[in-house]
Amino acid sequence: MDAGPDAFLARVPWATDLCRRLGLGDELVSPARGRAFVWSRGRLRPLPEDLVLGVPTALWPLARSGIVPIPGLVRAGLDLVLPADAPGGDEAIGSLVTRRLGRTVSERLVDPLLGGIYAGDADRLSASMAAPQLVAVARRHRSLILGLRAHRREHPPDPTQPVFHTLPAGLGRLVDRLAAAVEGVDLRLGTRVEAVASDGPGCRLTLDGQAPLGADAVVLATPAHVSSRLLAGAAPAAAGGLAGIEHASVVLVTLAIDAGALPGPLDGSGYLVPRGEGLLHTACSWASSKWAHLAEPGRVLLRVSAGRLGDDRPLRLDEDELLDRLLGELRLVMGLSGEPSAVRVNRWVDAFPQYPPGHLDRVAGIEARVREAIPGVELAGAAYRGIGVPACIRQGEEAAARVLARLEPAPAR
Ligand SMILES: Cc1cc2nc3c(=O)[nH]c(=O)nc-3n(C[C@H](O)[C@H](O)[C@H](O)COP(=O)(O)OP(=O)(O)OC[C@H]3O[C@@H](n4cnc5c(N)ncnc54)[C@H](O)[C@@H]3O)c2cc1C
């Protein structure tokens, strides 16, 4: 079972295309069940089906779901009559949704759904990065609900197209296949780069335990906090900008449990926990009902996430205490009884870069400082222009294309 990302968006092309180019197209699968829930007001409640990026496009399905209490529903309805109030410029997604539909919708739907992708906080997450479609609708229409409804009519979702793909052998297969496919390349896996410096028109890499390496260009696809250290000598201003990109940490606990330990079969892909519910875990993916390849009679597999921006409690707990707390919460939410038959704990420290309002401008500034100080270096990865696996693949391809465009006229070194 994957210990990190376990799926990627299928509605953007880059990851699916790369799988196909590597001959993995036939192995791609989609979730068996899509129905997701929210733990809200003491119960697991199904997410309304008409949500667009966490925002409801009608009030009745939201009322029926019970996720939002009546005062919150009334406040959400005000969106239909409130005057236009778009502030212009980049704002937090939490602020956009709050000013139109109120705090409760933002806290109980948008923060867990959109903020959750970043292990972040909707009040500190750039709307134009996390939900550009929502921003476009909010600028064109006075009411977000009516605007999203119109957007849906113009761009109806295609129910035959999957939202997510994965590889049953694990997403590591994509990396392994890619590594095997790059023939004629001096590929040094497991080699740590310690510094990147300018060297004439190119660069010089200091490696851990190996001779330094000259390069015409470098695509720096390490996490931003690592890239910051690598560039500290050659591009201190850029390194400072990179160090300023905040990251959140998450603990992912994978559990195998006996199906008899649950009150009934799990019909759905899992649930999210809004911040205000006061639980340690933020989400639980019902992996063995979400993915057919993980289903086995009598056994249930769960992926429980804990920790997010501003909440490092799970990271500080030792394994026994963490497990104790999480099992207690699963008893409350899912009616779990007994103990798991297998447990795996993965701590993802500083793994989720944050995109506060103004993030793209900040990234453009960092890139300009890198270009100025050490022109052979390109940046790519989750900290810059998209956090998901497809967006990281796109950024890697774009960085490689920029390098090639720059090097093509010159002879190889
Ligand atoms: C638990 C978890 C679940 C997630 N779930 C999903 C999901 O379901 N779908 C989705 O699309 N996204 C998901 N994400 C987000 C996504 O996986 C990441 O944002 C993305 O993989 C980051 O890719 P990257 O190439 O920027 O960085 P990374 O994948 O972190 O790659 C950085 C690389 O740099 C290497 N490195 C570090 N230091 C050095 C050094 N000094 N020298 C040389 N190499 C170095 C590392 O070994 C690593 O290989 C998830 C993330 C986590 C942590």
pLDDT beneath 70, residues of the chain: 409-413
Question: What residue segments make up the domains of the chain, in order of their start?
Answer: 42-154, 193-245+356-407, 247-353
Report pLDDT for 158. 86
Greatest CA separation for the chain: 69
Q: Is 5 in the pocket of ligand 1 (CB under 6 A)?
A: yes
8 Å CB contact between 92 and 125: yes
Q: What is the mean pLDDT of the chain?
A: 95
Q: pLDDT of 308-337, one tens digit each?
A: 999 999 999 999 999 999 999 999 999 999
Domain 193-245+356-407 has CATH 3.50.50.60: yes
Strands 8-9 and 164-165: antiparallel
Residue bearing the CA closest to ligand 1, atom 35: 222
Pocket test for ligand 1, best of 226, 228, 281 (most atoms within 8 A of CB): 226
Architecture of the 42-154 domain: Orthogonal Bundle (1.10)
Q: Is 251 in the pocket of ligand 1 (CB under 6 A)?
A: no
Report pLDDT for 413. 57
Domain 247-353 has CATH 3.40.640.10: no
Report pLDDT for 34. 79
Tell me, what amino acid is at 338?
Answer: G
Report pLDDT for 411. 55
**Contacts with 15 (C-beta within 8 Å, 6 or more apart), sequence order:** 8, 9, 165, 174, 389, 390, 393
Same topology for domains 42-154 and 247-353, yes or no? no
8 Å CB contact between 214 and 413: yes
**Between vectors from CA 359 to CA 112 and to CA 157, what angle results, nearest 5°?**
50
Instruction: Determine the distance separating the centroid of ligand 1 and the alpha carbon of 351, expressed in angstroms.
Output: 7
Report pLDDT for 412. 53
Instruction: Determine the distance separating the centroid of ligand 1 and the alpha carbon of 92, expressed in angstroms.
Output: 24
Q: Is 222 in the pocket of ligand 1 (CB under 6 A)?
A: yes
Report pLDDT for 287. 97
Where in 10-86 does DSSP place strands (E)? Answer: 36-40, 43-46
